[in-house]
Amino acid sequence: MIDIAEDLKQQTEGLGAVETLAYLADMFEGKIIFSTSFGWEDQVVTHMIFDNNLPIKVFTLETGRLFPETYYVWNRTMEIFGQPIHAYYPRQDLLEQMVTKKGPNSFYESVENRKECCNIRKVEPLKRALSGNDIWITGIRAEQSPVRGSMENIEWDDQNKLIKFHPIYHWSIEEVKDYIKLYNIPYNTLHDRGFPSIGCAPCTRAVQPGEDFRAGRWWWEDKSKKECGLHDTSAATLETVRG
């Protein structure tokens, strides 16, 4: 599959985002999936998929700690397109065990606790969502963080053993906003209040002037630890998830 990822990069060279999505959907019929967290970028990709009736399953991770504004965009998106958005929840037993032992806000206490919470609420459900698929579509852009800037628009994800495609990887934030305005796509209003990256409510704050894109995520931690494990390019981080 690693070789296939390289082949796909060559086969889709020069194609636009929608053309590449359609090409991959045809080649990997029934085994292609898109993850959305309802941010600017994901709303653009969702529009590309739903507006063009592409046979790509769209899903989200329902962590149980999302902003009210995120739930509004989720519901509004389904109303507009009339398409399902599949929800994957944390495993109840793992979540109950963690909260019972450490409380609902243990992630503030240490990086290890925060990663445990991310693993239970996001990484483990993601693995269930990706299971059986060959292509994972994301809304990642290169300029979002140094880690994401080192990725490729089509790449092999060794952690999850599939190919990832980032259709708007080389887009600027201005291009994303222009697309949303052009097609009147619903978006999370927290973006207008200084939230360029939106995750769980307790772990996300507005970015201050002069701060980088990811500064509002897990702001109490060192800036080098601004990933939760969903798009980790290193070894898998599931050691705290049992069973």
Q: What is the pLDDT of residues 156-177, one digit of tens each?
A: 999 999 999 999 999 999 999 9
Catalytic-residue membership of 203: no
Spell out where the chain has E strands.
32-35, 57-61, 86-88, 135-137, 154-157, 162-165
> Coil, strand, or helix at residue 175?
helix
pLDDT at 23: 97
pLDDT at 171: 95
Instruction: Spot the catalytic one: 117, 118, 203, 228.
Output: 228
pTM attached to this predicted model: 0.88
Rounded (10°) CA dihedral 40, 43, 44, 45 = 130
8 A C-beta contact, residue 46 and residue 77: yes
CA-to-CA distance for 229 and 87, rounded, in angstroms?
19
**Tell me: the pLDDT tens digits for 41-82?**
999 999 999 999 999 999 999 999 999 999 999 999 999 999
**Tell me: the pLDDT tens digits for 192-237?**
999 998 999 999 999 988 888 778 999 899 765 555 555 554 333 3
In this model, does residue 3 exceed pLDDT 70?
yes
Give the Cα-Cα-Cα angle 133, 35, 188 (nearest 5 degrees). 170
8 A C-beta contact, residue 215 and residue 206: no
Q: Residue written as tokens 């390019």?
A: 233
